[in-house]
């Protein structure tokens, strides 16, 4: 080969520059770094890393089935003691689904009427139907139907449709369901007062920013994305609507005490299960077409993604929060979707994975048996029922399921056959406009929470003492732990020996380059390229700059002197030419949805992509300090783009980093991830991997930067960088500057460089920042 020899190494980009005579003089060149063995792994190590993390996340998910018991302290000695013992789990469930806002007390429902129309929407010989709304939160209402039986009322039920069913379909006012599956109608015909709330549907009509970009995200995903950052959830919002109806039922029960129940199908089944788990006022619940193992939650639509759910809860554990109250599980044909609404040239950006299928009967029964065990220990077996419609694929709302509900309410009722459809008294409800109102209210409510988030963050940080650098480091230790555990998700420290393997891949005039592989956890490794200056003196220890690539990047992009990427300009090699030791890690954000799906697998077990990245950097730092030519006190970090995201999430939490430089990413992150009026917003792009639960109420980029203090921190920003506008960057950085200057009294330890350029490593002010704070080259006496 001319000038270069390609090795059978980690990627097709791995290469070795030959000596002048086109051969490598092995007698003068070390083929491996001291203290390491020869690296023999071949193939695409970056993708192998991504795949190994995917598999690790699946293993953690599988293990959660047995490990979650440790998070419960159940006391079966009496029903009262049991309720007290599971109360902390109930409150934690409320938190992770975002059902945390105080509801408005209600004593009545508002009937939708005008002076020109009757308050009665429709009627039959057995019940009357009204279009109603009720206040839930200060700026959120629920809407739907109220069905009032014409005879004696025997129970009060919230009937919750699937997301793609309207209240009118359940009440028999509209087609789309066979009469047997119109369970709200059936309940009303048999003496139940029924409230049917609207559930946000799976269409994408309003998902996007008009005039900027529309998406194919379902309405549920659109709300889920912004709510997740605010510590809220589409599931939590809709449970609040259900529980508000329960508030009204409870008020009504002051005059006439009747059993209160919930019944739901599909998405409504999810809401019924969670509502009954949270609220002990609910006497009985029917969950139809939903109950199943949740161990493959990551395959379901992203709007069902709940942070940390599987660490503590499967459907059986949710049932245990209902026990000893009554639960009826109906195995039937569930809603089936193949994914989000289809992409079009005008609409894209939805999370691609998210199918709904009918739960397999065997799987339903297996999960139900886990749930039954809790009822058995409470001596309440008579309150738990599993009903199969057909062979588990029959229609919902079977006679057996409805009969079981009445039995659990202690009602001796023989179900009447379905009656005729009710007759409309005035025109139809405008279901489209009603759905639009409900959608807009939840978007507006979430945006209001986000606007208040700076005040919530100030409250969160109020106990951190910045009177001195020492006090700051001392009093923010718990904050670092909280952010790592509750926002990012913390894995155990690397659990197996590093077993470092290396091989020589570059031999340049001023440095040699080695591929490095380090074991982190079983089957999970860290990988990168270390550049070692040739002019090291015996016993000399040099500063290290960890040079981090961005999205879809590789270590070669920053370390190979012959690859002049317009993003990176081989900045690790340029720093090595100056005499720095540099290390370019492979971070696992490569492979598009192949890596993004890690988030879907990790979130339910309270982990994220950065849980793995932090562990890999822990192991990398542990190894770097063992090298005889590395100064452990002078290891800096410099990352672009996704590497800039790393710069504000990893060095602030790992004390081994002496400084951090964030390039091409620093901005007002809450706006970036949740804005519904900016073209810079991640709301309209494919980056569903950016979501971090409750981030907005805990931390922003300036807070993460402050956790570096008193260690130096810098921002590099090109005016033409499309990640965010200069104004967002300057706004958020001003808080960093003020903190270092006013609070830390160390204005020289932070800097920002604006330059006239795009999303790229500029390598001017940042290189000077590295020279100054890593003290290289050493000053001459």
- Tell me which residue has tokens 């970056």: 46
- Please give, one letter per residue, the 3-state secondary structure of 84-136: HHHHHHHHHHHHHCCCCCCCCCCCCCEECCCCCCCCCCEECCCEEEEEEEEEE
- What are the residues facing 384 on neighbouring strands? 327
> Taking the model in full, what pTM does it have?
0.95
- The answer to whether 582 and 572 have CB atoms below 8 angstroms apart is yes
Per residue in 628-663, pLDDT (tens digit) is: 999 999 999 999 999 999 999 999 999 999 999 999
State the Cα–Cα distance between residues 56 and 62, nearest whole angstrom: 10
Helix axes 267-278, 315-322, angle to 10 degrees: 50
Written as six digits, the tokens of 423 are: 């007759």
State the Cα–Cα distance between residues 621 and 749, nearest whole angstrom: 22
- The answer to whether 727 and 689 have CB atoms below 8 angstroms apart is no
Sign of the torsion angle spanned by Cα atoms 27, 29, 31, 34 = positive
- Alpha-carbon distance values, 543 to 292, 452, 580, 657 (Å): 54, 42, 6, 11
Find the helix or strand (DSSP H, E) in which 316 lies.
Answer: helix 315-322
- The answer to whether 219 and 200 have CB atoms below 8 angstroms apart is yes
Residues of the chain with pLDDT under 50: 1-27
Name every residue whose Cβ is closer than 8 Å to that of residue 781 and which is 6 or more positions away in sequence. Answer: none
State the Cα–Cα distance between residues 501 and 210, nearest whole angstrom: 53
Name every residue whose Cβ is closer than 8 Å to that of residue 118 and which is 6 or more positions away in sequence. Answer: 425, 426
C-alpha 44: how far from chain center: 28
Written as six digits, the tokens of 454 are: 């700076």
Question: In 392-510, which ranges are continuous DSSP H helix?
Answer: 399-408, 431-460, 469-475, 477-482
- Alpha-carbon distance values, 422 to 110, 172, 315 (Å): 21, 7, 36
- What are the residues facing 714 on neighbouring strands? 661, 751
pLDDT at position 7 is: 37
**DSSP assignment letter at 342:** P
pLDDT at position 495 is: 87
pLDDT at position 779 is: 83
The SS3 assignment for 391 reads coil
- Tell me which residue has tokens 């940390």: 308
Nearest to 137 by CA among 431, 430, 436, 446: 446
Beta-carbon count within 10 A of 752 CB: 18
Per residue in 276-305, pLDDT (tens digit) is: 999 999 999 999 999 999 999 999 999 999
- Please give, one letter per residue, the 3-state secondary structure of 631-659: EEEEEEEEEECHHHHHHHHCCCCCCCCCE
pLDDT at position 781 is: 58
Helix axes 234-252, 219-229, angle to 10 degrees: 90
Strands 284-288 and 326-331, by their bridges, are: parallel
Strand ranges, E, within 289-344: 326-331
- What are the residues facing 284 on neighbouring strands? 261, 326
């Amino acid at each position: 080969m001319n000038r270069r020899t390609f090795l059978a190494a980690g990627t097709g980009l791995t290469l070795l520059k030959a000596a002048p005579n086109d051969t490598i003089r092995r007698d003068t060149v070390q083929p491996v770094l001291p203290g390491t063995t020869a690296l023999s792994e071949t193939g695409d190590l970056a993708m192998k890393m991504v795949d190994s993390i995917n598999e690790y996340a699946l293993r953690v998910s599988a293990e959660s089935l047995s490990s979650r018991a440790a998070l419960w302290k159940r006391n079966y000695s009496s029903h009262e003691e049991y309720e007290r013992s599971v109360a902390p789990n109930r409150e934690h469930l409320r938190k992770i689904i975002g059902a945390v806002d105080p509801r408005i007390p209600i004593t009545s429902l508002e009937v939708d009427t005008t002076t020109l129309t009757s308050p009665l929407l429709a009627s039959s010989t057995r019940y009357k139907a009204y279009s109603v709304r009720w206040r839930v939160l200060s700026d959120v209402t629920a809407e739907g139907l109220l069905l009032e039986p014409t005879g004696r009322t025997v129970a009060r039920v919230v009937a919750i449709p699937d997301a793609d069913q309207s209240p009118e379909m359940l009440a028999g006012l509209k087609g789309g369901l066979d009469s047997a599956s119109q369970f709200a109608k059936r309940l009303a015909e048999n003496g139940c007062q029924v409230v049917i709330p609207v559930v946000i549907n799976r269409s994408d009509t309003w998902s996007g920013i008009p005039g900027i970009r529309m998406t194919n995200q379902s309405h549920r995903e659109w709300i889920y994305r912004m709510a997740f950052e605010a510590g809220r959830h589409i599931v939590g919002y809709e449970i609040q609507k259900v529980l508000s109806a329960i508030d009204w039922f409870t008020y009504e029960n002051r005059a006439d005490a009747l059993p209160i129940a919930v019944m739901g199908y599909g998405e409504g089944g999810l809401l019924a299960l969670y509502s009954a788990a949270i609220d002990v006022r609910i006497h009985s619940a029917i969950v139809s077409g939903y109950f199943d193992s949740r161990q493959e939650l990551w395959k379901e639509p992203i709007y069902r993604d709940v942070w940390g759910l599987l660490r503590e809860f499967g459907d059986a554990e949710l049932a245990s929060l209902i026990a000893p109250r009554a639960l009826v599980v109906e195995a039937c044909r569930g809603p089936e979707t193949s994914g989000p609404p289809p992409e079009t040239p005008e609409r894209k950006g939805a999370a691609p994975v998210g199918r709904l299928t009918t739960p397999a009967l065997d799987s339903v029964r297996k999960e139900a048996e886990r749930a039954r065990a809790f009822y058995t220990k409470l001596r309440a077996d008579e309150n738990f029922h599993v009903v199969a419609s057909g062979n588990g694929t029959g229609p919902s709302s079977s006679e057996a399921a409805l009969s079981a509900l009445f039995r659990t309410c202690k009602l001796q009722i023989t179900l009447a056959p379905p009656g005729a459809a009710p007759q409309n008294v005035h025109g139809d409800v405008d279901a489209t406009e009603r759905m639009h109102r409900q959608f807009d209210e939840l978007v507006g409510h979430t945006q209001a929470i986000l606007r208040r988030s700076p005040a919530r963050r100030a409250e969160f940080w109020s106990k951190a003492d910045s009177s001195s650098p020492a006090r700051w480091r001392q009093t923010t230790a718990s904050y670092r732990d909280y952010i790592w555990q509750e926002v990012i998700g913390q894995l155990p420290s690397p659990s197996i020996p590093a077993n470092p393997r290396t091989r020589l891949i570059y031999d340049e005039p001023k440095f040699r380059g080695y591929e490095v592989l380090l074991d982190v956890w079983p089957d999970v490794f860290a990988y990168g390229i270390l550049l070692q200056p040739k002019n090291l003196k015996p016993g000399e220890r040099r500063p290290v700059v960890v040079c981090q690539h961005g999205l879809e990047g590789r270590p070669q992009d920053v370390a190979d002197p012959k690859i002049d990427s317009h993003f990176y300009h081989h900045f690790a090699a340029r720093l090595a030419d100056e005499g720095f030791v540099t290390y370019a890690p492979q971070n696992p954000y490569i492979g598009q949805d192949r890596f993004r799906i890690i988030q879907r697998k990790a979130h339910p077990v309270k982990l994220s992509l950065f849980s793995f990245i932090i562990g890999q950097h822990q192991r990398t730092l542990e190894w770097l300090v063992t090298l005889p030519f590395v100064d452990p006190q002078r290891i800096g970090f410099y990352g672009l783009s996704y590497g800039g995201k790393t710069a504000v999430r990893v060095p602030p939490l790992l004390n081994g980093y002496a400084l951090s430089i964030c390039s091409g990413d620093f901005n007002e992150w809450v706006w970036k991830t949740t804005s519904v009026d900016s073209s810079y917003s991640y709301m309209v792009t494919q980056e569903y991997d950016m979501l971090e639960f409750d981030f907005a109420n805990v931390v922003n980029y300036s807070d993460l930067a402050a956790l570096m203090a008193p260690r130096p921190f810098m921002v590099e920003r090109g005016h033409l960088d499309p990640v965010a506008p200069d104004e967002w960057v300057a706004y958020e950085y001003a808080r960093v500057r003020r903190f270092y200057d006013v609070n830390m009294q160390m204005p020289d330890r932070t800097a920002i460089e604006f330059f006239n350029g795009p999303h790229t490593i500029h390598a001017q002010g940042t290189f000077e920042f590295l020279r100054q704070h890593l003290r290289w080259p050493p000053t001459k006496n």
